[in-house]
C-alpha cells in the first residue's frame, strides 16, 4: 500500500484536504480509474516520457526507469495488486506517487509539460476509441449474422404488426432484415465518430498549451496511434464531454435497435404467439412454476435501452465557464453510459446460433 501523499496540486507544506471535502469531491470516481482506465493512462504516460526524452528533458537512463516503472504498475494492476484510493483522487496521482516513492524524483519529472487535464482527456479518448472500434466490429458481425438468418428464412410468413395488432402479411426475412439494415447503418455512424475521436489532446496541458517548452506533440500522436493532433489547446478542453456525447449518440442506435428487437422477441416468444424461441441455455426459469421460460435477456436488454437515454442526456448539459464550456458529469456516470452503450451488441450477438424459428 502506498503511503499518503500530498495531492499533485497541493504545495509540499500544505495542510491537506479536509476529509469531508475529499469524500464529497472525489466521490467514487477514483474507482473508475483503478478498475477500468489505468491501462490507457499508462499508455499515454509512456508516450509522454518518450517525447520528453526526444526533447532532452529526460535522459536515456530516466526514460528506461520510467518505462520499467510503468510496466511494473501495469503488471501489478492486472494481478489486482495496484490500487487507486480516494486519497489519491485519481489514477494519474497513483501512478506518479508509485514511481516517486520507488524510483525517486524521476516520478515527478514525468509530469513535465502536462496537466491532469490533458492526461485525463488522452486517457478517456484512448478508452473511447477502443470501445467504439469494438462496437463497430460487433455491429458489422451482427449485421452479417442477421443477413445469414434472413437468407435462410426469407420467405417464412409472419404477420406484420402496428399498434400491437396484426396489420399486414410479412415474412421473417422482412422483419429480421430490418434489424440487419439498421445495424449496418449503426456501423456507419460509429465509423464517423471514430474519425472525430481519433485526435491527440496530449500536450494541451490545462487548455492553454505550454509556453517556453517545445513539446513534440506529433511524436505522442504517432506513438499513441492517433490519426492526427488536436492542434488548438483550448479546443481540447472544449471538446471534453462533446466527443463522448457524439460517441454515445452514434452507439445509441445499436442500443435502440437492440431494445426494439428485445421488445419484439418478448411478444413473439409468448405462448400466445410462439413464433420464436431460444435454447434453454439462454433463458431462466421459475422455482415454483417449472413450466415457465423467462426471457430475462430480452427484459434487461429492453430496460437498458430505456435507461441509457437519460444517462446519455447528461452529456448534453454544458457548464459554461470563462472561455470554455465543459460537461458536468462524473467518471462514474460516464462509465455507466459507456457500459450500457457497448452491452447491447455484445448480448444481442451471443444467442444467434440458438435462435429457433417455428414455421
Query: How many Cβ atoms are within 10 Å of 358's Cβ, its own excluded?
Result: 12
3-class DSSP state of 9: coil
Q: Residue 305 to residues 136, 229, 308, 309, 352: CA-CA distances in angstroms?
A: 18, 34, 5, 7, 20
**Residue 71 annotated as catalytic:** no
Phi-psi group of 323: left, alpha or beta (phi > 0 → left; psi -120 to 50 → alpha; rest → beta): left
**Residue 53 annotated as catalytic:** no
Of the listed 286, 287, 343, 347, which one is catalytic? 286
254: Cβ contacts below 8 Å, ≥ 6 apart: 135, 138, 139, 183, 186, 190, 341, 344, 345, 348
Location of C-alpha cell 496537466? 115
Q: What is the DSSP letter of 200?
A: E
Give me the helices (H) in the chain, please. 19-26, 29-32, 38-54, 60-78, 91-103, 106-109, 116-152, 172-197, 217-224, 233-238, 242-268, 296-313, 331-348
Torsion sign over Cα 111, 116, 122, 126: positive
Q: Residue 54 to residues 112, 220, 295, 341: CA-CA distances in angstroms?
A: 13, 10, 57, 39
Of the listed 3, 18, 163, 287, which one is catalytic? 163
Catalytic residues: 163, 286
Amino acid at each position: 500500500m502506498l503511503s499518503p501523499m500530498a495531492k499533485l496540486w497541493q504545495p509540499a507544506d500544505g495542510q491537506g484536504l479536509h476529509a469531508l471535502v475529499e469524500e464529497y469531491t472525489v466521490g467514487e470516481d477514483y474507482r473508475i480509474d483503478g478498475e477500468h482506465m489505468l491501462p490507457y493512462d499508462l499508455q499515454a504516460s509512456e508516450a509522454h516520457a518518450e517525447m520528453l526524452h526526444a526533447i532532452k528533458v529526460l535522459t536515456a537512463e530516466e526514460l528506461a526507469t520510467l518505462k520499467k516503472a510503468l510496466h511494473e504498475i501495469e503488471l501489478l494492476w492486472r494481478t489486482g495488486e495496484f490500487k487507486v484510493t480516494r486519497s489519491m483522487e485519481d489514477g494519474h496521482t497513483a501512478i506518479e506517487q508509485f514511481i516517486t516513492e520507488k524510483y525517486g524524483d524521476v516520478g515527478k519529472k514525468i509530469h513535465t509539460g502536462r496537466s491532469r487535464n490533458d492526461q485525463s482527456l488522452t486517457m478517456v479518448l484512448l478508452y473511447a476509441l477502443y470501445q467504439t472500434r469494438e462496437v463497430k466490429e460487433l455491429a458489422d458481425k451482427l449485421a452479417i449474422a442477421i443477413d445469414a438468418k434472413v437468407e435462410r428464412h426469407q420467405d417464412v410468413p409472419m404477420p406484420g404488426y402496428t399498434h400491437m395488432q396484426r396489420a399486414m402479411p410479412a415474412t421473417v426475412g422482412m422483419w429480421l432484415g430490418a434489424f440487419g439494415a439498421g445495424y449496418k447503418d449503426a456501423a456507419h455512424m460509429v465509423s464517423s465518430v471514430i474519425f472525430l475521436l481519433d485526435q491527440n489532446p496530449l500536450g494541451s496541458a490545462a487548455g492553454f498549451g505550454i509556453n517556453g517548452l517545445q513539446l513534440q506533440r506529433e511524436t505522442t500522436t504517432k506513438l499513441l496511434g492517433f490519426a492526427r493532433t488536436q492542434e488548438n489547446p483550448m479546443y481540447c478542453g472544449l471538446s471534453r464531454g462533446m466527443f463522448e456525447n457524439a460517441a454515445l449518440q452514434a452507439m445509441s442506435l445499436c442500443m435502440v435497435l437492440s431494445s426494439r428487437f428485445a421488445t419484439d422477441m418478448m411478444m413473439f416468444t409468448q405462448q400466445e404467439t410462439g413464433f420464436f424461441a431460444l435454447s434453454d441455455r439462454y433463458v431462466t426459469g421459475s422455482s415454483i412454476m417449472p413450466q415457465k421460460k423467462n426471457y430475462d435477456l430480452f427484459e434487461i436488454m429492453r430496460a437498458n435501452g430505456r435507461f441509457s437515454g437519460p444517462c446519455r442526456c447528461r452529456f448534453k448539459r454544458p457548464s459554461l465557464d470563462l472561455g470554455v464550456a465543459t460537461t458536468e458529469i462524473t467518471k462514474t456516470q460516464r462509465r455507466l453510459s459507456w457500459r450500457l452503450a457497448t452491452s447491447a451488441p455484445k448480448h444481442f450477438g451471443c444467442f444467434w446460433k440458438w435462435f429457433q424459428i417455428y414455421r
